[in-house]
Structures are given as C-alpha cells and as structure tokens.
C-alpha cells in the first residue's frame, strides 16, 4: 500500500511566533559575535556597536526572509496518518493563560531584581560593563582571578552592554530584560515547533508545562545565562526533530545556528551542541542512503554550529583565558575523584524531587517513561538518549570540581544546569505521553476519521463554497487524492 499524507498549513500565528523567536535568538548572537570580532580587530568599542548592530539587523532580516520563503515553498507540512491534530479550546485557553501569567511573573522579577543577584551582577553584568567603552583591563584574561570568569563566553554580557549604553536607569532596566526576552523567544520557538510536530493543543500544553516550572521564570528574571542557553539548546533540539521529519535544509541550518548560539553563550553550551550533533549523526547513520548523502547534512550542520562562536573559539585557543571552578579534564583527575559519583547522583535525585523548584515535572517524567518504556518511537528514544547524555555530562563534570567543597559547588549550580536541560526533557515528556495507550487510541480514532471523512464528503455538498471549481469524479481523476474540501486528512491509495 502506498500511503498518501495530508497537508497542514501553518497559520500566520505560528509563522510569526517562529520568526520572532528566531530573530531574537539569532539576531542577538549575530550582533554580539560581530561586536566581539570588531573588538579583536582593534576597533574602539564605542564605535563597534553601530556597525555590529547594522550587520545584525541586515543579516537577521535576510535570514528571516529566506526562512519565510522556504516555509512558503513547502508550507503544506506532511502530517503522517494517525497524528493527532484535533484542537481542545479548553486546553488551549488554559495553557495560554498560564503562559501569560508566568511571563508576567518573570517581568516582575526582572524589574524587582535589576541584575542584583549573585552571578547576574558579579559575572554577566560585570563583563557587560567591562566591554561597554574601553574593554577589559590588560590583566583581565590571564593574570588576575577575576570573579567574572574570563573564560566564559560573551553572548549575554555583550547584549547587556548594548542596553547599558542607554543613559540613566532605563539602560539598567533594558539590560535586566535581556534574559526574560530569551525566555519569551524560547516559548515562541517551542510553540511553533511543537505545533508543526504534534498540533496546536499539544504545543500549547507542552509550552505551558515548560514555563510552569518555578526555576525557569525565576532565573530568567534574575538575569542568569542559563535561560538563554536553554533557549538555544531547546531550539536546536526542536529543529533536529523537524529535520528528521521533513528533511528541509532550512531546519538543518537553523538547528546548527542555534546550537552554535549555545556554545557562544556559556561553557555548558559546548556539551549541548555536542549532544545535538550526536543526535544528528545517529539520525543520518541510521538512514539507508549513500555515504555522501548521509555525510552532507552533518557537514552542513557542523559549519552552521561553528559560524557564530568561531571568533570566541579562535580567541580562546590562542589567548587561553584563565578559568576556575574545575580541574583539568584528565583521566588521572577523574580516577582520583571517582568516589564522588554516588554522592553526585544522590544530590541529582534529590534535586528532581524538589517540587519548590520543578513542581512535579521530573517525577511525572519518570512515571511517563516507566509507563511508555516499550512504546517509545525511534524519535522518543533518540530524545531520551540525548537527555541522558546531557545530564550525564553535567554530573560527571562535578568529579572535576575545584571547589574546596564540591558539595557546595553542586548546591550552588546543579539547579541552573538542569534549567538548561528542561526544554529537551519536556520534548521527551511529550513523546512519552504520546506513546501511552490512551495516546495511541486517540491517534487511531483520528486516523479512522481521516480515512472515512473524504468518502463521506464526496456524497454530500460542501459546507463552504470552494475557491475554485471542484474536479469531477467522472473525468478519470485519481480518487486516492484528497478532496479540495478536505482540511488535511490523509488517505491511503494502492
């Protein structure tokens, strides 16, 4: 049997959400990357912001236009038979209300804190003020153990530095809104991506689950860099799924650019990009295609990943900024401190049970995975492997902790590392819920409705006037094709 799929047209709301999220995420990274490149070339920072901003605006506009054109050329997305795309107005209304409430809480926290909390000021805002006019002092990169971590990437602080150029308290207020804007961009990307994958109801529900965890709006309001990293990492994982399904090059390139944005935002962005890259490599290795056809997407994605952080990566290899918090990543250090692992795992398990930070998300995710363990789709198994790899890298990292008490190191940073993994964890939860028996029955019901609806509609007049004359059934046309009155239902033809 040759299966014919229906088509689902992306609404203007979904297109605008996707473009708005991409423009903020990639426009921010492009501006800061160009700004840092001009700094490396010796251009005074007071003069570098204007050309960097112009290049970022032009590049973002051109990229948005190309992405929109690519979407329009293939906007009728293939929706495999059995995909649940019915809508629940109650779920959508409740989810949108919760999302708006949490975004409002985030903005209130940002205006109340104004970057005063710990790393938000001592690390990110300090680096932003160093790059505001004359740049860091001569001893910043090598000789003095600055608390602002010289070896941390500069995406967030350079974006805040642009806001600090606005005189008066308004500049500080704008800088405090950079991280909340990244949270909003993450939500927009999540909604748009999940809508294309699962339908509007599941997209709103998944986005609401993402933003309902107390830690996410809290640290976004504080101005920490973990939420921007989550924006880039979560967006990259979503576009990996879109690439797996439709194999459009625009999704592949966006996946690589967003993963590169994670590298350019924080040190933990490198393992996030590595996990996404491995997910792509596994996807391509499992295809039945010539080797060159499987290698080409990996090379395209690798080039896109390196585009935005390349100036920083080259600078780090040459200048080697001084770091802290961790010992050298060697086998000898790992073997000497491997006895820390049981305690690290125990602390991680305790963190997942902290409902004041995560509600009941991690508990619910565990229950869903236990219930759907044998029913997970290949896509779900890939997401679960990516999540496990990312969390394992984070936990093993504490084996190399250079703090006097590594337990204090875990207590001060583990919850923020888990924020970076939350978008990927929500994708795993959606896949697991979709694999449960109730979800399978719903998909079968929708598939049966799609198979029978076109035949029923042929025997009844259309419910709305067609835009063009309907083709006659007596002109030798293929009856297996969907009717023009069909709103996206798929049929099967021999």
* 472 is a domain residue: no
- Give the range of the structural domain holding residue 354, as residue numbers without chain letter: 325-457
Residues 195 and 162 in one domain: yes
* 477 is a domain residue: no
* 196 is a domain residue: yes
Residues 282 and 353 in one domain: no
Would you state the pLDDT for residue 6?
A: 38
Would you state the pLDDT for residue 297?
A: 95
DSSP strand pairing (6-9 vs 491-493)? unpaired
Q: Once rounded to an integer, what is the mean pLDDT over residues 367-391?
A: 93
* 55 is a domain residue: yes
Would you state the pLDDT for residue 133?
A: 79
* 492 is a domain residue: no
Per-residue b or e along 122-144, where b marks 16 or more CB atoms closer than 10 Å to that residue's CB? ebbbbbbebbbeeeeeeebbeee
Give tens-digit pLDDT for 216-266.
Answer: 999 999 999 999 999 999 999 999 999 999 899 999 999 999 999 999 999
* CB neighbour list of residue 41: distance below 8 Å, 6 or more residues apart: none
Closest CA to 400 of 336, 304, 456: 336
* 486 is a domain residue: no
Residues 96 and 216 in one domain: yes
Total of domains in the chain: 2
Instruction: Give the whole-number percent of the chain exceeding pLDDT 90.
Output: 65
Cα separation, 306 vs 92, in Å, equals 38
- SS3 assignment, position 76: strand
Residues 216 and 352 in one domain: no
Cα separation, 335 vs 333, in Å, equals 6
Residues 287 and 332 in one domain: no
Cα separation, 266 vs 277, in Å, equals 17
Asked whether 243 and 280 are in contact (CB, 8 A), the reply is yes
Residues 331 and 299 in one domain: no
For residue 357, pLDDT over 60 is answered with yes
Cα separation, 156 vs 228, in Å, equals 8
Residues 251 and 396 in one domain: no
Residues 120 and 94 in one domain: yes
Comparing 46-55, 78-87, 106-115, 271-280, the range with the smallest average pLDDT is: 78-87
Confidence band, pLDDT 50/70/90 cuts, at residue 1:
very low
Q: Give a three-class secondary structure readout of 405-425.
A: CHHHHHHHHHHHHHHHHHHHH
Residues 342 and 264 in one domain: no
Give tens-digit pLDDT for 167-214.
Answer: 989 999 999 999 999 999 999 999 999 999 988 999 999 999 999 999
Residues 98 and 230 in one domain: yes
Cα 355 to the center of its chain, rounded Å: 24
Residues 297 and 338 in one domain: no
Q: Once rounded to an integer, what is the mean pLDDT over residues 391-417?
A: 93
In this structure, the dihedral spanned by the alpha carbons of residues 363, 364, 366 and 367, taken in order and rounded to 10 degrees, is 120
Residues 448 and 359 in one domain: yes
Which position has the token pair 């929706």?
A: 79
Residues 425, 430, 431, 436: is their CA dihedral positive or negative? positive
Q: Which of 292, 324, 356 is the last residue of a domain?
A: 324
Cα separation, 177 vs 204, in Å, equals 24
* 125 is a domain residue: yes
Q: Give a three-class secondary structure readout of 430-494.
A: HHHHHHCHHHHHHHHHHHHHHHHHHHHHHCCCCCCCCCCCCCCCCCCCCCCCCCCCCCCCCEEEC
Confidence band, pLDDT 50/70/90 cuts, at residue 53:
very high
As a whole number of Å, the end-to-end CA separation of the chain is 5
Cα separation, 489 vs 470, in Å, equals 17
Asked whether 448 and 410 are in contact (CB, 8 A), the reply is no
Closest CA to 237 of 68, 425, 418, 8: 425
Confidence band, pLDDT 50/70/90 cuts, at residue 135:
confident
* 163 is a domain residue: yes
Q: Which of 280, 304, 324 is the last residue of a domain?
A: 324
Q: Which of 305, 324, 343 is the last residue of a domain?
A: 324
């Amino acid at each position: 049997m040759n299966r014919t799929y229906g088509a689902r047209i992306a609404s203007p709301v979904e297109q605008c959400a996707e473009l708005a999220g991409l423009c903020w995420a990639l426009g921010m990274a492009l501006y800061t990357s160009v700004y840092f490149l001009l700094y490396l070339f010796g251009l005074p920072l007071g003069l570098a912001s204007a050309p960097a901003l112009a290049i970022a605006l032009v590049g973002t506009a051109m990229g948005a236009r190309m992405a929109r054109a690519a979407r329009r050329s293939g906007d009728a997305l293939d929706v495999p038979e059995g995909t649940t795309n019915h809508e629940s107005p109650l779920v959508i209304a409740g989810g949108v209300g919760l999302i708006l409430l949490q975004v409002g809480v985030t903005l209130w926290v940002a205006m109340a804190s104004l970057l005063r909390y710990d790393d938000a000021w001592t690390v990110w805002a300090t680096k932003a003020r160093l790059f505001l006019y004359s740049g860091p002092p001569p001893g910043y990169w090598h000789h003095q153990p600055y608390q602002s971590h010289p070896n941390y990437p500069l995406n967030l602080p350079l974006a805040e530095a642009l806001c600090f150029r606005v005189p008066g308290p308004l500049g500080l207020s704008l800088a405090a809104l950079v991280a909340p804007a990244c949270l909003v961009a993450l939500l927009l990307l999540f909604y748009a991506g999940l809508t294309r994958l699962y339908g509007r109801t599941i997209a709103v529900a998944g986005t609401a689950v993402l933003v309902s965890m107390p830690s996410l709006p809290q640290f976004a309001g504080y101005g920490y860099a973990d939420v921007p990293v989550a924006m880039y990492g979560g967006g990259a994982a979503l576009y990996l799924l879109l690439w797996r399904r439709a194999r459009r090059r625009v999704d592949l390139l966006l996946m690589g650019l967003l993963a590169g944005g994670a590298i350019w935002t924080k040190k933990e962005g490198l393992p996030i990009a590595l996990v996404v890259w491995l997910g792509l490599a596994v996807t391509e290795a499992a295809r039945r295609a010539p080797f060159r056809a499987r290698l080409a997407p990996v090379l395209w994605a690798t080039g896109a990943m390196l585009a935005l952080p390349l100036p920083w990566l080259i600078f780090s290899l040459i200048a080697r900024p001084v770091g802290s918090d961790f010992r050298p990543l060697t086998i000898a250090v790992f073997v000497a401190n491997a006895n820390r692992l049981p305690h690290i795992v125990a602390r991680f398990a305790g963190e997942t049970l902290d409902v004041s930070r995560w509600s009941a998300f991690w508990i619910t995710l565990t229950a869903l995975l236990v219930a759907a363990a044998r029913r997970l789709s290949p896509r779900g198994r890939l997401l679960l492997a990516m999540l496990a790899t990312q969390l394992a890298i984070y936990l093993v990292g504490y084996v190399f902790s250079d703090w006097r008490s590594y337990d204090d190191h875990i207590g001060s940073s583990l919850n923020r590392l888990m924020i970076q993994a939350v978008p990927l964890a929500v994708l795993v939860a959606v896949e697991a819920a979709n694999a449960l028996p109730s979800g399978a029955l719903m998909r079968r019901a929708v598939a049966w409705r799609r198979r029978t609806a076109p035949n029923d509609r042929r025997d009844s007049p259309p419910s709305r006037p067609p835009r063009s004359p309907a083709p006659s059934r007596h002109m030798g046309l293929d009856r297996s094709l969907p009717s023009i009155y069909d709103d996206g239902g798929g049929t099967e033809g021999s």
